[in-house]
Structures are given as C-alpha cells and as structure tokens.
Amino acid sequence: MTTNSRMQRRFAALKDENRAALVTFTTAGDPNYEHSLNTLLGLPGAGADVIELGMPFTDPMADGAAIQLGSQRALANGQNMVKTLQMVRELRKQDQDTPLVLMGYYNPIYRYGVDTFLKEAADAGVDGLIVVDLPPEHDDELCVPAAAVGIHFIRLATPTTDAKRLPGVLANTSGFLYYVSSTGVTGAAAPTPEKVQREVEVIRAHTDIPIGVGFGIRTPEQAARIAQFADGVVVGSALVDCIAGAQTPEAGTAAVLSLVSELSSAIRTAR
C-alpha cells in the first residue's frame, strides 16, 4: 500500500484542520443511474470528505430497511458492477482529491472476478473497500490482493469486538477503521455518545489508524457530538431516506446534498 494515498492525504489534511471527516454513504444506482450519478458528483461540493458508494446486492444482511430498499430500487433499474465502476470514473473526471470507498458484500465481487474487479476498480479511481461479510480469516481472498493494487481494505469493529479479536481486525486494515457504534443493522438507534467515546478510546490505544464512527447518526447535532472525538462521522441511512422520501429523483438529490451541507457545517464547528 502506498504511503501517500488519496485517503491518507485527506485524513492528514483534516488532522491539520483539527476536524473530523464527514463520510457519506449512498447506493450506486439509487433511484436510477442518472440521478445517483448527479448525487455522487454533488457530494464533494456539499461537504463530503470521504464518499462511500454502495454496491447494490440482493441480500444485504447487515443493512436495515432503508439501505435494503435502496439496493432494490437500484437493481430494479438495472444497476450492476459495470455501471457502478463507471460512476467512479465519472467522478474522477471532475474530482481527483475526494477518497471514494466501495461498500457492500463479497458475492458481487466474486461473481465479477476478484482480479478483474480489483484491476478495474483501481483504474477507475477507487480508494478503498468495505466488504462486510469477509472476516480477517479470509484476507487472502480480497484484502491482501486489494492492498497489492493500492486499494485500502477498511475493516469494521463493533461493540462486541473484544481484546482477543481486535488485533486480527486491525492487522490488515488501512485507510480508516469503521467503528460500528451499535449492534444490529444499519440505521438502528445509536447508543449514547459517551459510551461510543469510551469504546473508541479503547481501540485508539491499539492503533494510529483514523477511526470513523457510524450506524444511527442522522442529524447535524448527532454528527457534531461524534465529531468531537472521532476522526470521521459516517452517515448513510439518513441520506438514503432522503432519496426514498422525495417526490421526484431531482428532489432526492437536492435533499441529500442539503443534508450533507448541514452535516458538514456541524462537523466543521464541533471542536
């Protein structure tokens, strides 16, 4: 893994600014390719520091209803891995600085072909992967090959990740560590910030890698509180809900970018 990647440069710059990153999640192709791409292209200007782009999958078992439905909308409108990688290429035509992470499940990558996927992802400008159903025991399948082509493998830690398990989680993690602040699926109610802060401090004693916190963060006020101690604040379901609740696809894009702007402003003044 390069020591001067786009991801590392972004977190180093934010550390100099003494603020957390706003990490946004939307699903590629939700509600359709055109409007999902418009949303993606607008995220950096609205204040997203790191972008997570979901790879739609028929059985997203770690996700709550909002993101499950987002995947269904995308798949129903023809989204596939080829189109998802094309969205990344389109972003890179106008933005060479914002790190982009593909997030999802191993099945679509496996079916696409790991070597082909990694080559095309690296060429397109993907900076990292979050693959929620590949534990450290299977690092040789995707994590190690991803690092070989310069793509970070971002691991998840949870409140149930104990001292015995943590070293394995951290071993090949790079870019940042995604701390899932609650057990259950995405979009679930968040625990108290004080409890999350204590848990993040325990992990920070074992690693220098940036730690992003997600699951259940929906409002600027919640984001600002998490930003006081985390290196990144991850918001996903609330953004996907903006798309689901909009009267038109154009209104969905506008709602997402408006909320991102509000979240960004809150995070920038949190410390």
Domain harbouring 41, CATH code: 3.20.20.70
Instruction: Find tokens 């997402």 and name the residue.
Output: 256
Tens-digit pLDDT profile for residues 124-156: 999 999 999 999 999 999 999 999 999 999 999
Q: Quote the percentage of the chain above a pLDDT of 90.
A: 86
Burial bucket for residue 265 (CB in 10 Å: 0-12, 13-18, 19+)? middle
Answer yes or no: are the C-beta atoms of 214 and 227 closer than 8 Å.
no
Greater model confidence, 182 or 202: 202
**Contact status, residue 213 vs residue 233, Cβ threshold 8 Å:** yes
Confirm whether 1 is domain-assigned.
no
- Of residues 39, 47, 43, 101, the one with CA closest to residue 74: 39
Mean pLDDT, residues 64-69 taken together: 87
Cβ-contact 180, 157 below 8 angstroms:
yes
Please give the pLDDT value at position 63. 78
pLDDT value at position 188?
52
**What dihedral angle (degrees, nearest 10) is formed by the CA atoms of 202, 222, 73, 56?**
-20
Catalytic residues, by residue number, are 52, 63
Is residue 131 included in any domain, yes or no? yes
Closest alpha carbon to 236 in 13, 11, 71:
71
154 close to 129: Cβ distance less than 8 angstroms? yes
Q: How many domains does one find in the chain?
A: 1
Q: Would you put residue 103 in left (φ > 0), alpha (ψ -120 to 50) or beta?
A: beta
Could you please report the per-residue DSSP string of 81-147? HHHHHHHHHHHHHH-SSS-EEEEE-HHHHHHH-HHHHHHHHHHHT--EEEETT--GGGTTTTHHHHH
How many beta carbons lie within 10 A of that of residue 9, not counting itself?
A: 12
Q: Residue 253: which domain range?
A: 6-268
- State how far the Cα of 157 lies from the Cα of 173, in Å rounded to an integer: 11
- Please answer whether residues 97 and 127 qualify as being in contact, where contact means their C-beta atoms are separated by less than 8 angstroms: no
Residues in Cβ contact with 248 at an 8 Å cutoff, skipping those fewer than 6 apart:
none
Q: What percentage of the chain exceeds 70 in pLDDT?
A: 95
Kindly tell me if the per-residue pLDDT of 262 is higher than 90.
Answer: yes
